[in-house]
Structure 1
Amino acid sequence: VATGLADAVFLAKEFVNEDDFVVALGDTIMDSHTTPNHLSRLIDYHQEVDALCTLSAERIPMEHCSRYGILDVKKYSNPSNKSTDKFIVNDLVEKPSIKDAPSDLAISGRYVFKPAIFDYIEKTPYGKGGEKQLTDAIKLSKKGGKIAALQLADNERRYDTGSFALYAKAFVDFCLKDEEIGPELREHLKNLKL
């Protein structure tokens, strides 16, 4: 039985074997119309820097930092890197207060790992609520490898679907963007007596 996100990830150990792998949180939807898309760029960057863990990240309002894992980062420097969205992670803090938040860069529900993360998950102590936190395992993994982060592009968006209201908002946004049902839904919304 998984108690916490780290335990849930650990359940994939035998399936993953010795391959790098992606964790995509089920309560997060990415709207990415860039080419290549965000997940492809995340995997490419993970391989480029040979990171043990590469995180998807997004800028958030500071008043929301207590809802997320927040990153302390430095820009990835490489002569061929002209990008401003690539980072090396110095530290990460799970759900800090505003005063304890090292930045406004939050983990956004997509991860690429080397299988070595399983060793760190095993070593991670159970924390609040008797759960193993994935953030704690990632912090511990800094001892054995690089942690990288790739920020969402300006035209990409992460939808949190972890509550009924957030799910409904995401559903409506995607429906409105759909060529087939968008016009009909817009007309319906205009006619609602709100």
Structure 2
Amino acid sequence: MQSVRKAVFPVGGMGTRFLPATKASPKEMMPVVDKPLIQYAVEEAIAAGCDQIIFITGRSKSAITDHFDVSYELERELQERGKKALLEVVRSIMPAHVSAVFVRQPRPRGLGDAIRYARSIVGDEPFAVLVASNLMLSRQPVLAQMMERFERYNTPILGVQEISPAVTTQYGVVEGRLCDENLYQLSGIVEKPTAGAAPSNLAVMGRYILTPEIFKHLEELPRGVEGEIQLTDAIARLLQEQQVLAYRFEGKRFDCDYKLGYLRATVEFAMRHQDMGAGFNAYLRQLCAEGRLPRQMDRVAHFPADEEEGED
């Protein structure tokens, strides 16, 4: 059985929900405390054992390339100033044992279309797909949780969590039966169904482990609205040929495609930050004491996954 070593990051979208902040800077480079969104996702992939990172980029995405490239001038400056800790931080962004590949997607035409551009690099290996705007907070990295199940079952796995009926039109929703702890054997998957048509309350949350058979279906799919190719539709076709599983992962997910989800993530990660967490929590307690925040701190710290903004 092949292990999953390659991780694909579709980062070619325009990020229109965050305009004007994303007019000249990629949405994936927006910081949560002191790291950009894309770095959290790359660190998750590396922690799960991936050593080849494949970015599917687009126009105005050069900042992502620069972020993961070596900055000789910055490193020399930090070295000369004796800032060894910061130098290590900069060098650790892309560890020496990990390679990065950048592929240009001419136009953002759906998640499935972006993944098609990784075919020649992925080859005949299983691979992971991580959507960086889905930021995860968990004891064990979410992709690592999924890797453990993939090694056991050797079949495609989708990371899912429960959602409320009010937001089914924002997600791919799965149908299946429980076959192991938090693991479901799928019988169907629907892209953005209405609440009444949703087959379950389990939605895909931007984490996938796929096998190379998916590329055939991505190539054969007809283009939909605005020329898009949806990964969900290709997975639905794959289901007719082989088993696909859904894993309800442990952890909290923040939808940073939306401003409210991004702000929630910023607060949660700031509360847990190694250097500034204590100070930030003290500030929140001060706001509570002044009556500017609810006194029940768990109301500040707990953000259900189903309280998202509407679509733009």
Same fold (TM over 0.5): yes
Q: CA deviation at 1:19?
A: 1.1
Residues of 2 paired with 1:48 and 1:190: CA distance?
45
Q: Percent identity?
A: 28
Paired position in structure 1 for 2:122: 16
CA contact (8 A) 1:50 1:146 kept: no
Paired position in structure 2 for 1:104: 201
For the pair shown, the structure with the greater C-alpha radius of gyration is 2
Residues of 1 paired with 2:264 and 2:278: CA distance?
17
Matches within 5 A, 1:103-182: 103-153=200-250, 156-182=251-277
> TM-score, normalization: structure 1?
0.87
Q: CA deviation at 1:21?
A: 0.4
Q: Does 1:27 align with 2:133?
A: yes
Q: Which has the higher contact order (CA 8 A, sep 6+)?
A: 1
CA contact (8 A) 2:145 2:249 kept: no
Residues of 1 paired with 2:207 and 2:232: CA distance?
13
Paired position in structure 1 for 2:142: 38
CA contact (8 A) 1:20 1:115 kept: yes
CA contact (8 A) 2:175 2:188 kept: yes
Q: CA deviation at 1:190?
A: 4.5
Q: CA deviation at 1:178?
A: 1.9
Residues of 1 paired with 2:151 and 2:286: CA distance?
50
Residues of 2 paired with 1:98 and 1:143: CA distance?
25
Q: CA deviation at 1:191?
A: 4.7
Residues of 2 paired with 1:75 and 1:190: CA distance?
42
> TM-score, normalization: structure 2?
0.55
Structure 2 gap ranges (5+): 1-105, 293-312
RMSD of the TM alignment (CA)?
A: 1.7
Partner of 1:98: helix, strand, or coil?
coil
Q: Which amino acid aligns with 1:47?
A: E
Q: What whole-Å deviation, never above 9, does each CA across 1:7-53 have from its counterpart, x for those lacking one?
A: 1011111111111100000111111204xx431221222232232x2
Partner of 1:102: helix, strand, or coil?
coil
CA contact (8 A) 2:223 2:229 kept: yes
Structure 1 gap ranges (5+): none
Q: Does 1:49 align with 2:146?
A: no
Q: CA deviation at 1:176?
A: 0.5
Q: Which amino acid aligns with 2:145?
A: R
